[in-house]
Amino acid sequence: MAKDKIENASIAWPLERLTRLMRSGEHEGGLNPAQWEALRYLSRANRFSNSPIALTRFLGSTKGTISQTIKALERKGFIAKSPRQDEGRSICLALTEKGIEILKYDPLAELSKSLDDLGGKTRRRLAKGLADLLETDLKRREQPSFGICSSCRHFREKAHEDRADPHSCMLFDVGLSQAESLQICVEHG
């Protein structure tokens, strides 16, 4: 096998094994892996991205599968639907108190224990390498980045310093709070 193929495999195989280990804990709390992913997404998504369509794009799933996931989470009391302001049939999805509470027991946090055991330098390099890999792969597959608002080309930091929402989004032409600047967005670019 060529050297670069061996190197690539030495990254892809541990990633596959880690993914399987992480998924193995995701049948806790009466939820399945897709439902955990949806809850995590809604805990991070901004107000332009808390819709079934954005969730479908983020998970790269089908409309039917996401619809089942949403129904199950709603039935279990982890999320609630509400009409989107000024947008007829469109709806918003939000975590309920119960949904926020269950995320404190997210099985993904198990990985944090192992990450804590790595040195700070290794953790930083790993974070950078994985972020670069994800960005490259998303671009190659022409998938939306769903990045953090403050890293978007439409974001203007402290555009209105005197306001409670000091930052600005040039795409939606709205103010953004500090908390919103750290959320993820379906229109991130």
In DSSP terms, 168 is beta-bridged to 156, 175
Kindly state whether residue 44 participates in binding ligand SF4, applying the rule CB under 6 A: no
Question: How many angstroms separate the CA atoms of 72 and 166, rounded?
Answer: 37
Distances (CA, A) of 58 to 3, 45, 118, 119, 123: 34, 10, 29, 31, 25
DSSP string, 30-92: G--HHHHHHHHHHHHB-TTS-SHHHHHHHHT--HHHHHHHHHHHHHTTSEEEEEPTT-TT-EE
Other C-beta atoms closer than 10 Å to the C-beta of 31 total: 22
Closest CA to 42 of 60, 61, 56: 56
Kindly state whether residue 45 participates in binding ligand SF4, applying the rule CB under 6 A: no
* Residue 74: CA count within 13 A, CB half-sphere: 13
How many residues interact with ligand SF4 (rule CB under 6 A)? 12
Residues 124-183 touching ligand SF4, rule: CB under 6 A, are 149, 152, 154-155, 169, 171-172
Nearer to ligand SF4, 29 or 175 (CB): 175
Kindly state whether residue 188 participates in binding ligand SF4, applying the rule CB under 6 A: yes
Q: Report, in Å, the least distance between residue 118 CB and ligand SF4.
A: 30
Q: Report, in Å, the least distance between residue 79 CB and ligand SF4.
A: 21
Binding mask 92-131 for ligand SF4 (x = CB under 6 A): ----------------------------------------
Nearer to ligand SF4, 111 or 172 (CB): 172
Q: Report, in Å, the least distance between residue 60 CB and ligand SF4.
A: 19
Q: Report, in Å, the least distance between residue 188 CB and ligand SF4.
A: 4
Contacts with ligand SF4, residue ranges (CB under 6 A):
46, 48, 149, 152, 154-155, 169, 171-172, 185, 187-188
